[in-house]
């Protein structure tokens, strides 16, 4: 387990050892009974079965506090392929850059960022989401209601953790030490949030949304929310913000928010509430968990590395900056004198206008072939044919430029929480 697990809380096995029945409730939604019957019931059993990938014939014999062998170590990533695990409670894992090579990120390779424990129940047939607050017609809708009452759309949308790139700050910033793989662009199917809000009837007092989910606080305290963030109404009413119930044409992976989640492309992934149960329309900036203090906020000015920043000097992180990633070749690969280089580029609420690569440490740059986004909110795929002049060690650098002329920097200013690091991505290759 990485050292920063100490800051994130107990490991999964520690939690089960210290409080087995509480862990059962928090992680699997099951309750131990003295007669050893019914350890798993209903959707709690369905949740565990989905996570291990099969039904559990002898589930009634499972003692309280047992950690299924399927969840040992990296196997908490059941249904995922090649992800790097940072924590197991909550589960956080990123995707190595070379495994992001697909134009559309497969579910098995989509990163995981959790703040709390998985919900006890994830039954799509029983799921409901409430739209209330500053609306004329509060509504509670099932997933079938969403499908039947609103236009269903499928869009390729980027979700990126606000802390993606945190590992490259010096001095280190607190939090998961994401490198470049806390990002993905899956095909999400659902309904537009703006359509649902329009039917609910926004009042003129509507300013912000507040999002709530069914995940539970790691302490087990039901009165605490692990995270509840929101977005300004103008952002909520854009065409590419979805209430999603499918991921890549199938059910959403449990770790990615099954059975219902928000997808808010271009803004920090924390806005894309998983296990969505409520959209609360507010008459002020939402004040839910991780909306205040330094959470998902940047200093309102450049600060020196390690500088303390007063709470009043932070502003909310909204649109994510221009960024790119090299997905081929893999870092430290051996390549031929001629090779293809490819990857993706994206930016919040804008488009990418150019992608350049360099093999001579930035002395000269070559334009890559850049695809248009398949829809608003998707990343843009790029590729270039590169010729290396002789054998040796090279670095391939990539930089994207957005539609407002903003270019990725070589490095960015430090900030205390390590957010929004859009420094150029580099990979090493050897030509021999």
Buried/exposed 197-225: b ≥16 CB within 10 Å, e otherwise = bebbebeeebbbbbbbbbbbbbeeeeeeb
Check residue 214 and give its pLDDT: 97
* Spatial CB neighbours of 221, under 8 Å, sequence gap ≥ 6: none
> Is there a contact between 395 and 309 (Cβ–Cβ < 8 Å)?
no
The CATH 3.90.420.10 domain(s) of the chain lie at 128-316
Low-confidence residues of the chain: pLDDT under 50 = 1-13, 16, 26-43, 65, 67, 72-74
Check residue 162 and give its pLDDT: 98
Q: Tell me if residue 98 falls in helix, strand or coil.
A: helix
For domain 128-316, give the CATH superfamily: Oxidoreductase, molybdopterin-binding domain (3.90.420.10)
* DSSP H helical ranges for 9-138: 12-18, 20-23, 42-52
> Is there a contact between 386 and 326 (Cβ–Cβ < 8 Å)?
no
What's the pTM? 0.84
Residue of 238, 263, 186 whose CA lies nearest to 349: 238
Residue of 361, 359, 379 whose CA lies nearest to 370: 379
d(CA 336, CA 204): 62
d(CA 175, CA 77): 20
d(CA 370, CA 367): 9
The CATH 2.60.40.650 domain(s) of the chain lie at 323-431
Residue of 249, 272, 325 whose CA lies nearest to 113: 272
Check residue 8 and give its pLDDT: 35
Distance of CA 24 to the CA centre of its chain: 25
Measured CA distances, 41 to 45, 198, 327 (Å): 5, 38, 43
Check residue 163 and give its pLDDT: 98
Measured CA distances, 39 to 28, 34, 119 (Å): 10, 10, 16
d(CA 109, CA 83): 7
Strands (E), 248-304: 261-263, 276-282, 297-299
Cis-peptide into 48, omega within 30 deg:
no
The strand pair at 91-94 and 84-88 is best described as antiparallel
Q: Which CATH number fits domain 323-431: 2.60.40.650, 3.30.420.480, 2.60.40.1180, 3.40.50.720?
A: 2.60.40.650
> Is there a contact between 210 and 283 (Cβ–Cβ < 8 Å)?
no
Burial of 310 (0-12, 13-18, 19+ CB in 10 A): exposed
> Is there a contact between 390 and 431 (Cβ–Cβ < 8 Å)?
yes
Check residue 22 and give its pLDDT: 54
């Amino acid at each position: 387990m990485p050292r920063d697990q100490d800051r994130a809380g107990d490991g999964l096995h520690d939690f089960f050892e210290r409080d087995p029945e509480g862990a059962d409730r928090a992680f699997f939604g099951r309750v131990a009974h003295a007669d050893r019957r019914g350890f798993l019931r209903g959707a709690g059993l369905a949740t565990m079965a989905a996570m291990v990938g099969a039904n559990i014939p002898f589930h009634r014999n499972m003692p309280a506090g047992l950690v299924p062998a399927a969840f040992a170590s990296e196997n908490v990533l059941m249904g995922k392929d090649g992800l790097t695990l940072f924590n197991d409670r909550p589960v956080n894992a990123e995707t190595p850059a070379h495994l992001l090579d697909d134009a559309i990120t497969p579910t098995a390779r989509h990163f995981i960022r959790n703040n709390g424990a998985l919900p006890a129940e994830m039954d799509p047939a029983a799921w409901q989401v409430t739209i209330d607050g500053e609306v004329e017609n509060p509504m509670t809708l099932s997933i079938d209601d969403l499908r039947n009452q609103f236009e269903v759309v499928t869009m390729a949308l980027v979700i990126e953790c606000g802390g993606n790139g945190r590992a490259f700050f010096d001095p280190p910033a607190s939090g998961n030490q994401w490198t470049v793989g806390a990002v993905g662009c899956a095909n999400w199917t659902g309904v537009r949030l703006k359509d649902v809000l329009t039917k609910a009837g926004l009042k003129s007092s509507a300013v912000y949304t507040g999002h709530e989910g069914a995940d539970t606080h790691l302490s087990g305290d039901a009165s605490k929310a692990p995270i509840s963030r929101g977005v300004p109404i103008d952002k909520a009413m854009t065409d590419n913000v979805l209430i999603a119930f499918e991921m890549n044409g199938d059910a959403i992976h449990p770790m990615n928010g099954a059975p219902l989640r928000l997808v808010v492309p271009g803004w920090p992934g924390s806005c894309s509430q998983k296990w969505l149960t409520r959209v609360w329309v507010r008459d002020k900036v939402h004040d839910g968990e991780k909306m205040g203090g330094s959470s998902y906020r940047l200093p309102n000015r450049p600060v020196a590395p390690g500088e303390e920043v007063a709470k009043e000097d932070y502003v909310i992180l909204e649109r994510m900056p221009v960024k790119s990633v090299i997905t081929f070749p893999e870092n430290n690969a051996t390549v031929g004198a001629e090779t293809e280089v490819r990857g993706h580029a994206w930016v919040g609420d804008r488009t990418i206008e150019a992608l350049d690569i360099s093999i001579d440490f930035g002395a000269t740059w070559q334009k890559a072939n850049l695809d248009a986004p398949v829809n608003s909110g998707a990343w843009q795929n790029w590729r270039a044919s590169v010729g290396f002049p002789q054998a040796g060690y090279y670095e391939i650098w990539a930089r994207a430029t957005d539609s407002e002329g903003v270019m990725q920097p070589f490095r960015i200013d430090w900030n205390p929480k390590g957010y929004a690091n859009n420094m150029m991505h580099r990979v090493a290759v050897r030509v021999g």
